[in-house]
Structure 1
Amino acid sequence: MNVRPTLEDIRRAPKVLLHDHLDGGLRPETIVELAQESGYTDLPVADADGLREWFEAASNSGSLERYLETFTHTVGVMQTAEALSRVAYECAEDLAADGIVYAEVRYAPEQHLAGGLTLEQVVEAVLDGFSRGRRDFGIRVGTLVTAMRHQARSMEIAELAVRYRDDGVVGFDIAGAEAGYPPTRHLDAFEYLQRENAHFTIHAGEGFGLPSIWQAIQWCGADRLGHGVRIIDDIEVDGDDARLGRLAGYVRDKRIPLEMCPTSNIQTGAAKSIAEHPIGLLRRLSFRVTVNTDNRLMSGTTLSQEFAKLVEAFGYGWDDLQWFTVNAMKSAFVPFNERLEFINGVIKPGFAQLKWTGSRPLA
């Protein structure tokens, strides 16, 4: 008998996460402790519980720019090698506890230099934390080094991605406010990465519309789209029928992965509600959709909770959740043979076991 997954059951499923920001997933207790150790005095709330509530409240403004302001405090306490390694280690622990077997976690090295670290020292500290996390919790975490789109260090960061790609850095990304900062400003970095046969994703179609997506794909050559929610603007819906515009059709035909983050997309104003999130239509139209957390602290979420919200909103069952998960693993920036090992050796067997152990039948 097919069953509707519960949150408890979903936590046991072997999941894959492609879009998660290291500085958006700190434990509030860790922020407080790191602030005390480093002398950071700008926290808006001094205790962990109050700080958690502050982050979640500040993230619900409906503005991407306001949402991004919350990172001042997490980045502020991540300015030493010890802090970066600790945060990465705890990230691995938290993701593993949520049933995630493979994750790609991104961060911007250029934002962690205030304490005197070099870009290389930042990267190595984060890699150390995730390496220890893999040893202790069994989770494989690849990192994406991110360049800030309003700055001018993208070539340096791209070179870091290539230099450390055999040590755990699996790709490159650009992030930050989209409006006024098109991805083409960093075209030299993307062309360099392509020449080096390196992988990269681009935040696009979250705070800005179709031009951002078009540039990311056709000018910059992105392997994946961070969010890509506004691709919905190129789809006309008439009842059960949908007509895809040229760009939407291209994205679907080329199987370009969309790294969607439902809760975060609502917080930043990219979607109105879970029930109205474009992910429902895009899944029905068989786009390469993946489900992600974006910033677990700011959104007060986990990947299991994101899946549970989709189950509630769209009536999804285990087959749907496995489809999203296989999509994510197919789209990961690790070699093909490793993706197959995860899909055939971990994900499919794990979901097969869970499909018949839920608590209530699907309607």
Structure 2
Amino acid sequence: MTAAGAPLVLTLGDPAGVGPEIAVAAWRALSVSGPVFAVVGDAEVLRTQGAPVREIMAVSDAPAVFGHALPVIHRPVRAPVTPGAPNPANAAPVADWIEEAVSLALSGQASGVVTCPIAKAPMYASGFRFPGHTEFIAELTADAPFAGVRGPVMMLTARDLRACLVTIHVALDQVAQTLSADRVIRTAQVVDDALRRDFAIARPRLALAALNPHAGEDGALGMQEIEMLRPAARRLRDMGVDITDPRPADTLFHDEARRGYDAVVCLYHDQALIPVKTLDFWGGVNATLGLPIIRTSPDHGTGFDIAGQGQARPDSLIAALRLAAEMAASRAH
């Protein structure tokens, strides 16, 4: 469904967060070079950032505007916006922006969706029933045809590291119970397929992180590697997925190790996020794999504590826009 050459769509996220600031800053940085994108959100909120804003009727109008103004599909908020003070009254428009952007991507009018951060508390207060963006977008695209292995799987990227998560927001003392061979296998299949489809890697090489120190030390430090992870890796290799046996995480992320794989399958949140943010704290990107559409986002939150103060850096959003364009180009071919 990806339309080669079509603009991206960017959702504004919580309007009281740093989304408006980084959207405008990203447009200033990319207005000459691209990729071209249109914002789905409130044009008046964006005008408070001091940039030229042009309201458009369709995503296809964005290329003609992008060089001299930020193109916006104007969908107004319901309540006044105060930077740093999220308002549940605006949660419904935030969800609507996401839904419209996904629809534009599914129809081929947009080549991909990039999302500015949302805050869960005001969304939940308004009746939003999803843990976050990823699950919401997965449901919005659930009925769309997709030839690939369906996710969603969260991939965090920084420099040459692609770290993919089997579990995400799970308390550390619950990770071992939450993991299963089937979850590891499904995640690795999604990653393998996405690397081929969205990153043009003909023969992906995957590394599998161990759960326990020293990969369990032959059972002395835990049995998950023996009972679950090694059998899962063997099954994946039998399916044609090039993946290692579980490797100790403390030796998996240095420069030389990263040259040995195209992506690493990590078992829990911090196992992936710590190396990604150490490599590039400001420029990491969150990409959702295994969807009928391209979706990326900056790897940070709403930043309510600095919203409206001119401190927010757009590095991660710029990287997310560039990655979405690259993934869309790979998928289109």
TM-score, normalising length from structure 1?
Answer: 0.28
TM-score, normalising length from structure 2?
Answer: 0.30
Name the structure with the higher helix share: 1
